[in-house]
Homo-oligomer: A and B are copies of this chain.
Amino acid sequence: MTVRSEAEALRPTDAFAALYAQVQQFYAHQMQLLDAGEAERWAATFTEDARFDVPTLPKPVHGRPGLVTAAQRSADALAEAGERHRHFIGMLDLTERPDGVLDVRAYTIVYASRIGGGCRVHRVCVCTDVLVRSGDELHVRTRTVTRDDFP
């Protein structure tokens, strides 16, 4: 959860730019799938055996079937409540391990809007991911999210 070292954090190269753009695009697409209620497609952006540990779930989820269930439940609950959520991730602090695995520590703001009502900041979170590559594609192997309003 801690901020990593500065030595790791600074690499002004074309290779880093290609990686950083890919990771930004990956998150934009992934979060839009979640917010659109595309539970299966969202779960497919994780590895088969991914670990997903977020404050809104009583215990960590392991594997895609559990991710589909969690995303579908959230989408159903929002539809019933007449709300829309948007997960806005940014401030990506990205480092690459020697074996190509990626560590990302990022901020995620969740906005909530009531249909026919107003909008608000719902959650302020820190998201710590481990991303792995399979060919050209990225997948989340582990995701750990903390909420700023929790001790």
Contacts and interface: CB of A to CB of B under 8 A. Distances in A.
Interface in A13-46: 13-14, 16-22, 24-29, 31-33, 36, 38, 41, 44-45
A80 interface: no
Nearest to A34: B3
A116 B10 CA distance: 35
A63 interface: no
Contact of A111 (B14, B44, B109, B114): B109
A17 B124 CA distance: 28
Given A9-B29, A12-B22, A149-B119, A3 B93 contact: no
B18 A13 contact: yes
A149 B115 contact: yes
Interface in A68-114: 84, 86, 88-94, 105-107, 109, 111, 113-114
A118 interface: yes
29 contacts: A3-B29, A3-B33, A4-B29, A6-B29, A6-B41, A9-B25, A9-B26, A9-B29, A10-B137, A12-B18, A12-B19, A14-B17, A16-B22, A16-B25, A17-B20, A17-B22, A20-B24, A20-B25, A21-B21, A28-B106, A31-B91, A32-B105, A84-B124, A90-B91, A111-B148, A115-B148, A118-B149, A119-B123, A119-B124
